[in-house]
Amino acid sequence: MISKMDSRSILVLLSLLVSALYAPLNVAGESLFSPATPQHSKNTFYQNSDLISAPKMEAPPSDVSAIEALAIKPLAKASGVNGLSLDTSAQKTLPHKTFRLPNVHPGRDPVYAYAKTLLAKALTVTQGKYGTFDLQVSHQEAAQERQLRSLEHDMLDITWSVSSADREKQHRAVPIPIMAGLFGKRIMIIRANDNRFDEPLSLEKLKLMRAVQGYDWPDTRIFRHNKIPVLETTYKASFRIVSEGFADMFPRSVMEIQHELENQPADSELKIEPNLLISYPSPLFYFVASDQEGLANRIAEGLTILLESGEFQKILMSQPVYEESMSLMRGRTIVELNNPLLSEHSKVALSRYLTYFKLDALTGDSEPFKEN
Q: What is the pTM of this model?
A: 0.72
The strands making up 284-288's β-sheet, listed across from edge to edge, are 159-162, 284-288, 172-174
| Out of 45-54, 92-101, 138-147, 185-194, least confident range | 45-54
- Whether residue 86 contacts residue 43, with contact meaning beta carbons closer than 8 Å, is answered with yes
Read off the pLDDT of each residue in 118-129 and give the average, rounded to a whole number: 98
For 213, residues 6+ apart whose C-beta sits below 8 A from its C-beta are: 219, 220, 223, 230, 231, 232, 238, 250, 251
- Sketch the domain layout of the chain as residue ranges: 2-91, 97-181+284-321
Q: How confident is the model at residue 119 (pLDDT cuts 50, 70, 90)?
A: very high
Categorize the per-residue pLDDT at 247 as very low, low, confident or very high, splitting at 50, 70 and 90. very high
| CATH class of domain segment(s) 97-181+284-321 | alpha beta
Assess contact for 226 and 219: CB atoms under 8 A.
no
Could you tell me the pLDDT band of residue 144, with boundaries at 50, 70 and 90? Answer: confident
Report the candidate in 276, 225, 286, 222 with the shortest Cα–Cα distance to residue 249: 276
Question: What is the longest distance spanned by two Cα atoms in the chain?
Answer: 119
How much is the average pLDDT of 122-135? 97
> Contact, 144 vs 216, CB < 8 A?
yes
C-alpha angle 145-148-153 in degrees, rounded to nearest 5: 120
